Structure 1
Amino acid sequence: MAAVCVCDDYFVVDDDGLLCLVPGSMGLRQRLVFGTPGTFNFTKAEYPWLARIDVQVQAGGGGSAGADAAASECVARGGGGGGGYARSLIEASALGASESVVVGAGGLAGVGNSDGGPGGNSSFGGLALATGGQGSDASMLTGTSPTSVNGETGAAGNIGQFSSGGGGSGGALRVSGSVGLAGIGGGSQLGLGGFQRGAQGPGTAPRGRGGGSGGALSYGSAFDGGAGGAGIVIIDLHG
């Protein structure tokens, strides 16, 4: 009679004589993606085979300020800062019965000559946290004389086994009443900032997740800033 041998790194015979996979040896089994800003719950009991999770949290990017220059004058705005990022590999035994999942929204666009809003934080319980990017400010006043303003520093202060602050945004420049340059939005681990503009217009949209908006530019017409990119939480479930 032929005999069958199995590798005990991956298989085990239980008390009923059934051949089963060793818990924790199955690798990636499912991916959960939380892409809508808000608060959700992860319940461990829904995945009885769970051995560990690989969680990524990306915060929202900052919005850019609005620009409304007087006639024949110029206002240029810097871009919004990029949102932070964190990633952790967590054993199932270290998880609570339920962990909160928070997805940060992108920062609001500034209206008129108001500041852009900050991006929202994203997190998984208290085990992974990424902070939102800063919104750009409306510090440049309308005028025609050469001047410049700084961009925003990228987000920092993340919690995770690996963490990365968001990218800083570009500053803005006015050469004259009809020549200026708005700032590029800050990038993130999972997204790119909005482009910088030399022709007047509103703040520019980021790509992907967590990037900051590019700045608005006005040569006498009113333009809103742009909204930052929303965050995201990605959870890979390993069995």
Structure 2
Amino acid sequence: MVRVTVWNENRHEKNNPVVGGIYPNGIHGAIADFLTKAGFEVGTATLDEPEHGLTEQVLNQTDVLIWWGHLAHHEVEDSIVDKVYQRVLKGMGLIVLHSGHASKIFSKLLGTPTGQLKWREADEKERIWVIDPAHPIASGLGEYIELQQEEMYGEHFNIPTPDQLVFVSWFEGGEVFRSGVTYHRGQGKVFYFRPGHETYPTYYNKEIQKVIENGVRWAVPSQTAEPVYGNAAPLEPIKSKPYSREVTEI
């Protein structure tokens, strides 16, 4: 059984009645619901819980962590970010959704200020094109996903060149955006997926749910040996060879 933890700062749902009406059990609750139905073992965690709900026990029992944040990136404690970072390096999968692009953990893993991009909230259509139809995250999808209303994110998106580009979005206003990208960090896999503005019911869309389900399956830890670093003893005997200073004249 793949163990998933859905993390959400859970502030919009409390402060904005529109968001609360769309996601009465929180964005984390909506995501946890469809992932549970897909057969995963799912728990949730939120910002205002002790240790943001991400205790060592929770992280050690998580195969894939899903991250949604927006208003309160700065409130996430650096010590918790460091714990998540180390777990990813040791193999835990991480799926970063929508405005989680500006989270501390995403920036730390990618090494750039990932909050830099264009944005606009104008109820415009988004068409998410499948760029890599052979990628496991795109399994079961058509050529594109169409959302009638979403927030626009536009290039340039300040991220390193991704290992794989799975989706590119086009918006009604004309912008494009790398909306589905993957990275490998240490033993862990990272997937960023753009859609999911809090005032739209995006996470009830079956195709969006399918992408996230596929993302979880892709990000599950691989059964590989942990890398060993530092000074290492030789595996084979090394025969000492005398060093010659002789210079051959040409």
Q: Which has the higher contact order (CA 8 A, sep 6+)?
A: 1
TM score, norm. by length of structure 2: 0.24
TM score, norm. by length of structure 1: 0.25
Which one has a bigger Cα radius of gyration? 1
Is the helix fraction higher in 1 or 2?
2
